[in-house]
Structure 1
């Protein structure tokens, strides 16, 4: 089996400004403090560029500037720089503590019922007698969501005697997802893939075409399949329509019926916004939504100011916001203008990963544990039952009440 690569040996690329800032915020959800040199290495850029990014994020109130770096909002811990930042990892499993049902034909020491399966044209080394099968994982950075899912996948895979090899893709339109997945097949012990294909049309089409050609057992996570595509694979997704319904019921329970909405640009924002619009339309007038703002990044000061202006002008009493950092930015601008959260405007944020280390916002949070468990077990079931009907698993998000929704006065 090929040796894991260190971050220094992996192919690096130049990140877009929006990607860099998202990665900085993502890192500060996993650790309280980051230094400028650490971030420059992570982002493959200069320290001067990092300081400019930190200044912009600091001015937006999304982090605290400290000498030599930054701290997460709301953190009072003493600076403790991280010494281990990696965007690509390999998780080595121990002995399997649980096994899938036995199926003939597995390699020596592999999990029962798991066989290697790679693209026929992949150039792969010979299987070692003691090799364990591998699940290839391709998930995008920057994101504060995916690291938690990956962290939980590793021990789940280990229960079945499987190793996990993770490769980073990108939200960028030019992400070479097809090449990344093809690279994973170089390992002849690969038995399946868990991937989140790029959501941009051209990059996404290349990824889906590759998945269809490769014929490797694949589970797609947190992505809709192309509506007219001919590739049919298993999927695991957050049940955003159900989550939006939970938010609406929570607002209504506190007497809020005039509710605005704002959405950042993410691969899941279109589904969340569609679910919200449909719910408002189906509410028979119980919910009035005077405005929906979309495509606003949390560090877009002008865009955030525009959202706050519309909140003040329309007299909404509550806001549904995706993502966390956009909710944080809106709350901070509201309070600078004397509009208090939650006394004057209640907020629910959809993501729920940034706020524990920042400000207490009621959130809709997808369970990283449940998504990881569903993805790994769905893939194993596909490997063992290749002719079974395609499955689509939906995981309901949890509403965590942190007190940013109060009774309407």
Structure 2
């Protein structure tokens, strides 16, 4: 029989009395209860002034702690003082700058603290950073693992479902049946974004539209949305993308293949429009296309994907913009709700997909 709430809290009080301080993650494992249940007990005990908590560690109430603080009720408005949220992302530049910013705004607004670990897309570094954040007291994790296709391959990523704290995947997804598919996740619906670009170009009269995207965690979803829209709208197929080699191409070679593909698609394949991922590639490609006799937009209308710098091009470019900041904000709010003692502990897991927006520029 599992101990009831009074027994659990008595155990916590005794362990804190004997040891002085205990890490929350380690205590949950020692007591054989879920981290969420333990946090609910801890919050109640903190509110009664029986223990104190800071950065994932609970300890005895010190004599110097003011009685008014010890007995004060929990802050109103859904605040989460003392919680530490760990966030693992490839980088805090470019795409993920806004994702992290959105998460930080929500975390700090609710009185919690955000700590960030960077992977630089290095193999295995996502788990290393997750373990490091947990060892320093993170109560929950926002994870963007290094899954090349945006989702784990066979046998990859199961560790994300075995973590000792609530975890939300950010801009990553796992297929049904994979252990990580049961995690909360928040991501951009890149397939919808690509389909929206194709639809807009079709509305302008284009019947043969190409997709130019190097291999990234986003490209698979872009291609799925692009192909679905081409089929649904009855458009003519563009020339197939060049077959990939055995491994990733050097940056310069990948760029040259994209340029060659677009030139051939226009001059020989009848393509009149393209969705190019990303903005920086598009801005670099356009003058090179024009140098080879392909006029933009006369011969090739262009929509870019990401909308980071599309508006800064010589001729501002129409672009699809994922809701990056909102993704970070929604993921952080979802995780904080999971960690909150006042939140519904048995709420269903959520898979949220936010629709990118099309910004049309003349």
- Normalising by structure 2, report the TM-score: 0.70
Superposed CA offset, 1:183-233 (max 9, x none): 001123x22111111114998778733222223111101112144312311
Q: Is the 8 A contact 1:264 1:297 kept in 2?
A: no
Partner of 2:103: 153
Partner of 1:13: none
TM-superposed CA distance for 1:386, in Å, is 3.7
Q: Matches of 1:297 and 1:162 in 2, distance apart?
A: 42
Q: Matches of 1:381 and 1:269 in 2, distance apart?
A: 31
Partner of 2:133: 184
TM-superposed CA distance for 1:344, in Å, is 1.9
Q: Matches of 1:254 and 1:203 in 2, distance apart?
A: 37
Q: Matches of 1:278 and 1:309 in 2, distance apart?
A: 23
**How many aligned residue pairs are there?**
288
- Any stretches of 5+ residues in structure 1 without a counterpart? 1-102, 110-114, 119-123, 404-409
Partner of 2:209: 259
**Structure-to-structure mapping, 1:346-385, within 5 angstroms:** 346-359=301-314, 360-383=316-339, 384-385=343-344
Partner of 1:396: 355
Root mean square deviation, CA, Å: 3.2
Q: Matches of 2:241 and 2:46 in 1, distance apart?
A: 56
Q: Matches of 2:104 and 2:116 in 1, distance apart?
A: 10
SS at match of 1:141: coil
Q: Is the 8 A contact 1:299 1:329 kept in 2?
A: no
- Any stretches of 5+ residues in structure 2 without a counterpart? 1-39, 48-52, 66-80
Q: Matches of 1:292 and 1:128 in 2, distance apart?
A: 67
SS at match of 2:298: coil
Of 330, 352, 365, 2:285 maps to 330
- Normalising by structure 1, report the TM-score: 0.63
Superposed CA offset, 1:376-398 (max 9, x none): 11112222334221101111101
Q: Matches of 1:302 and 1:162 in 2, distance apart?
A: 47
**Structure-to-structure mapping, 1:7-406, within 5 angstroms:** 105-106=42-43, 132-141=82-91, 144-172=94-122, 174-188=123-137, 190-200=138-148, 208-231=157-180, 232-283=182-233, 285=234, 287-293=235-241, 299-300=252-253, 301-307=255-261, 308-359=263-314, 360-383=316-339, 384-403=343-362
Q: Is the 8 A contact 2:194 2:223 kept in 1?
A: no
Q: Is the 8 A contact 2:88 2:144 kept in 1?
A: yes
